[in-house]
Amino acid sequence: MNCRPALNNQGREGKVSTYKFPPDFVWGAATASYQIEGAWNEDGKGESIWDRFSHTPGKTANGDTGDVACDHYHRYRDDVALMRQLGLKAYRFSVSWPRVLTNGRGPVNLHGLDFYDRLVDTLLEANIVPFLTLYHWDLPQVLQDEGGWTNRDICPTFADYAALMVKRLGDRVKHWATFNEPKVVMDNGHLNGDHAPGLQDPATAYQVGHHLMVAHGMAVQAIRAIDPNLYIGIVLNHWPSYSASDSPEDVAAAERFWLQSETLFLDTIFKAHYPPSRWELMGEDIPSICNGDLVLISQRLDFLGLNYYSRHLVSAQGIIDHVPGSEYTEMGWEVHPPALRNLLNKMNDGYDLPPIYITENGAAFRDEVTSDGAIHDERRLEYIRQHLIQVYLAMEDGVDIRGYFAWSLLDNFEWGHGYTKRFGIVHVDYETQERTIKDSGQWYSRVIESNTVSDS
Ligand code: IFM
């Protein structure tokens, strides 16, 4: 890869280190349909499980919903203009399944499909490469009523939906991700219940995890059958485990935690097997698996998307919630940039991976709009800077990383936290829908223009 080493002046007092990225490095920002689109029941869109969940009292902070969100459905042209102003090379977004298939399957909602068609055309006119995610959590409620991801019948239905989208957009969208963060769908949606559909049952969650992978495999087949030249991937989120001390007990606990909670999707997709530690954890609740599933799940991928936000510090007593001296974001997540490099190397050493994109990375901090209307979000800027440096160093280590997407382009609906957490590099005033590029966004724009990150 075209990666030039960092200038050799790191650590010398008064000197700034600069990190020059390869010329074709993909600089992007990411969003997801339910978090920004709004227009929850317009133009034939069906109800999603997040519509149902957020409309249920007590499920989200302040009872917030995605009914309007950033009103991106109506303002997408302005938002693409904003992306262009930032100089983004790529934009990662997701499709709302119930917007294009009101009932999850069957007759196509042409109004919904047209929206994504226009969005893609507008992006391409602005020279911005679309990266499309098929599923970022907003399942059609009608499919949930049939059991959702607990019902294996949903897998071919998902593949049909994937095929529909590829037939319509595959001439212009080349990068396709099946799922965003299947672990969150499994754990938050079906084990902890703090996400839609709000179930809390281990056996159900494990079966859902398996079905998500089967659906992924069927979608990969369906997409390739239509166009073998498209780039197909999946987006996984990972929190690496660090040991709280050098004691053998803590080291073993950290490794066990990584194996049990982080390797399910990596192992099934890239090694065609269920990690034994996961098997132990599931005990009586192991999912039902059909012959051939692991072959289906482990088809070759063209890229892997990695979402990284923080790490876990683990001792033999469990996860350490607060690390003295560490900085924390508004989500209560520790800021630990070196863990990203560490994670990338660990994954690269342990698996035969396709090229990687960092498909999400960013931070929620409390923003203040100053009297002149600016948002001086120094901590978010610093968060992104430090993580980009770690991405660069991982590339120097030999990890094949092709791009980085800041999470998020816009402040948006942060699931159960509603609008209380702001991740955007662009501020959104939810009263007026006014967008203001934050300092972090201005800085990111200069990074993109120069292809360079400096350490101060
Ligand atoms: O907002 C989410 C996104 O939808 C998925 N990844 C993590 C982000 C921050 O929590």
The answer to whether residue 181 is catalytic is yes
**355 within domain boundaries:** yes
Q: Which of 262, 360, 382, 414 is labelled catalytic?
A: 360
**456 within domain boundaries:** no
DSSP class of 424: -
Which residue, judged by its Cα, is nearest atom 9 of ligand 1?
414
Going through 8-78 in order, the beta strands assigned E by DSSP cover: 18-20, 26-30
Chain-centre distance for alpha carbon 141: 22
Between CA 185 and CA 286 the distance in angstroms is: 17
Between CA 329 and CA 358 the distance in angstroms is: 19
Return the pLDDT at 15: 79
Q: Tokens 């002046």 correspond to what residue?
A: 9
**How many structural domains compose the chain?**
1
DSSP codes of every residue in 246-276 = SSHHHHHHHHHHHHHHHSHHHHHHHHSS--H
Could you tell me the CATH number of the domain that includes residue 278? 3.20.20.80
Between CA 320 and CA 334 the distance in angstroms is: 11
**196 within domain boundaries:** yes
Q: Which of 37, 181, 262, 414 is labelled catalytic?
A: 181
Which residue, judged by its Cα, is nearest atom 1 of ligand 1?
414
**312 within domain boundaries:** yes
Token pair listed for 68: 């309007």
The residues, ordered by sequence, that sit 6+ positions from 337 with a Cβ below 8 Å of its Cβ are 383, 386, 387, 389, 390
Mutational test site, ligand 1, from 137, 181, 235, 422, max ligand atoms within 8 Å of CB: 181
How far, in Å, from the CA of 414 to the mean position of ligand 1?
Answer: 7
Which residue, judged by its Cα, is nearest atom 10 of ligand 1?
414
How far, in Å, from the CA of 6 to the mean position of ligand 1?
Answer: 31
Question: Using CB atoms within 10 A of its CB, is residue 288 exposed (0-12), middle (13-18) or buried (19+)?
Answer: exposed
The answer, yes or no, to whether the previous bond of 275 is cis (omega within 30 of 0) is no
**435 within domain boundaries:** yes
- Which residue segment(s) compose the domain that 139 sits in? 25-449
The answer to whether residue 334 is catalytic is no
Return the pLDDT at 9: 34
CB 399 within 8 A of CB 352: no
Nearest atom, ligand 1, residue 137 CA: 4
What is the full per-residue pLDDT of the chain (456 aa) written as tens digits?
Answer: 333 344 333 433 467 899 999 999 999 999 999 999 999 999 999 999 999 999 999 999 999 999 999 999 999 999 999 999 999 999 999 999 999 999 999 999 999 999 999 999 999 999 999 999 999 999 999 999 999 999 999 999 999 999 999 999 999 999 999 999 999 999 999 999 999 999 999 999 999 999 999 999 999 999 999 999 999 999 999 999 999 999 999 999 999 999 999 999 999 999 999 999 999 999 999 999 999 999 999 999 999 999 999 999 999 999 999 999 999 999 999 999 999 999 999 999 999 999 999 999 999 999 999 999 999 999 999 999 999 999 999 999 999 999 999 999 999 999 999 999 999 999 999 999 999 999 999 999 999 999 999 998
**7 within domain boundaries:** no
Return the pLDDT at 28: 99
CB 376 within 8 A of CB 441: no
**152 within domain boundaries:** yes
Helix segments in 351-407, DSSP class H: 378-397
Nearest atom, ligand 1, residue 407 CA: 8
> Residues with Cβ within 6 A of ligand 1?
32, 35, 181, 307, 360, 407, 414, 423
**44 within domain boundaries:** yes
What does pTM read for this prediction?
0.97
Return the pLDDT at 456: 87
